[in-house]
Structure 1
């Protein structure tokens, strides 16, 4: 009985969290199947661009053979500005959610009772590091270094 209640609560929580995705499902369909949908079933600002896209055999092949991000990234800014904007908006849902979750987890760990002496300035610096994609170029650093510290 105890586990039954927990599973029921968990199912309700998942339902609540994914409710937004159910509302966005028609938009995801546009993004994932642009060559199978009818123009009159999508927002007006995308209709003409969809028809142009569907008439282009080269774009059909590119869509079949590649990743969605690459496909939408390769669309012409001049010919498909609305579709590019739409795709960027839809893809940003996932990226911003991931970054938000990553930042929250980091902040939770760093502001735990074990690190209660940490000030906001330090936390701000840590948050910038954790949420960035920077990678040190160690080879370049070593090659450009004129003097190394020697031990005594």
Structure 2
């Protein structure tokens, strides 16, 4: 990466009125999604690297925190498979639909009482 190329891209970016409007109305992440990579390749590459540092650091810190808690509380009975499953379930963003299971339990109760 040549510093003069980055400086030129930065000067051009600062003069781009359309991108200034986007910057004022959107978050930093959304703004950099709108910046054209063809016109600003070095700035785009650098911004993606900087933005991704925070999300990957957060994921790693969360993982270590979960591992520390799980291992300290249940150290004697954990296998590697148990640890893997506990980490996967604690770090996932998946949200199960408990309404479906509640309906199934209600249906089982009503059919078994007949």
**Under a length normalisation based on structure 2, what TM-score does the superposition of the two structures give?**
0.73
What's 2:59 paired with? 99
What's 1:28 paired with? none
Matched, 1:111 2:94: no
Q: Secondary structure at the match of 2:92?
A: coil
Matched, 1:71 2:71: no
Query: Which has the higher relative contact order, 1 or 2, with Cα contacts under 8 A spaced 6 or more apart?
Result: 2
From the two aligned structures, give the one with the greater helix fraction: 2
Structure 2: state its 5+ residue gaps.
Answer: none
Q: Secondary structure at the match of 1:111?
A: helix
**What root-mean-square deviation, in Å, do the aligned CA atoms of Structure 1 and Structure 2 show?**
2.7
For this pair of structures, how many residues does the alignment match? 106
Structure 1: state its 5+ residue gaps.
Answer: 1-41
Counterpart-to-counterpart distance in 1, 2:83 and 2:49: 29
What's 1:29 paired with? none
Matched, 1:47 2:38: no
Q: Return the match for 1:90 from 50, 72, 78.
A: 50
What's 1:148 paired with? 104
Counterpart-to-counterpart distance in 2, 1:134 and 1:44: 45
